[in-house]
Amino acid sequence: MSFLMILLALSGYYIPIQVENYPVDEGPVYLAYIENTEGFQVYLSLSPDSAAEAITSTAPFPGLLNPAKTYVGFEEETGILSVYSQYSFSANYYLATYEFGDDGELLLLDAAGHDYYLEALERMRVCSRAGDFEGMLDEGWSVMYPGGNYYGAEMCILLLEGALHQADLLVDSGVPLETAVDCLSDANILARNLTNDQLHLSILSSDNYPDDVEISFEEYLDMLSDYADLLEDSGQVELAEDVRRVIADLE
């Protein structure tokens, strides 16, 4: 349990979780919850914290329920209740889905933890394969809690490849080099947000090169070399020299 949850528990404060889109005329419906030796149990209630007003039986929530960051939605067409709980200090989350049985029984259908950062990386990969550099930037900036992101190196490799390709397209279309390399700056700024360091500093040792990227280590070195050349040609000599120092260390 997080420090915030401990404080709330000690203070007796109960965080209400209202069910979105639940069709009821009497008023709002809440996901109520209790924690016992078996873990978290949830049920629907007309009161956010009262079993006396329960309208379903209890059902297990197998993951960590973080009421402060839990969203509950009901889909009337399918009758499915989805409980989405985001972990503290992270964008990773646990998702459980339920259906209603006879006599108000709440039945667990599926439950699993989700690696939000891997999902974000996959969305960036989709943009990369489609040649959509702007889409990749949008996906990168949408990453929540980047301090908890452990796929920063993979994301930076994709950003470097995408920015170089974008710069080539712009130059070929007649855009001056000094303007075309703005996309390199965009990638570098995003890299700082994702990894707290510059684009060319995401890999500092060949031993740390990710195994699950489609770009080989040799291809990555070639991209860094192209990056340094473009920086130098556009007048960013100091940064180009720093990139070449990294290349020399990696080789």
What pLDDT, in 10s, does the model give residues 89-114?
Answer: 888 999 999 999 888 899 999 999 99
For position 24, what pLDDT does the model report?
76
What pLDDT, in 10s, does the model give residues 38-90?
Answer: 889 999 998 877 767 888 999 999 999 999 999 999 998 898 999 999 988 88
- Residue 9 pLDDT > 50, yes or no? no
| Mean pLDDT across the chain | 90
In sequence order, the 6+-apart residues with CB closer than 8 A to the CB of 65 are 33, 35, 40, 42, 83, 85, 94
For position 11, what pLDDT does the model report?
38
What pLDDT, in 10s, does the model give residues 113-124?
Answer: 999 999 999 999
For position 42, what pLDDT does the model report?
93
The residue ranges of every structural domain in the chain are 3-114, 117-250
* Between 47 and 204, residue with greater pLDDT: 204
Q: Percent of the chain scored above 70 by pLDDT?
A: 94
* Between 15 and 120, residue with greater pLDDT: 120
- Residue 246 pLDDT > 50, yes or no? yes
Q: Distance between alpha carbon 187 and the CA centroid of its chain, in Å?
A: 18
Mean pLDDT in residue range 231-243: 95
Q: Of the CATH numbers 2.50.20, 2.40.128, 2.60.40, 3.30.70, which one belongs to the domain with range 3-114?
A: 2.40.128
Q: Distance between alpha carbon 234 and the CA centroid of its chain, in Å?
A: 34
pLDDT band of residue 138 (cuts 50, 70, 90) is very high
For position 13, what pLDDT does the model report?
53
For position 26, what pLDDT does the model report?
64
Q: How buried is 161 (Cβ within 10 angstroms: 0-12 exposed, 13-18 middle, 19+ buried)? A: buried
Query: Which pair of structure tokens corresponds to residue 250?
Result: 């990696």
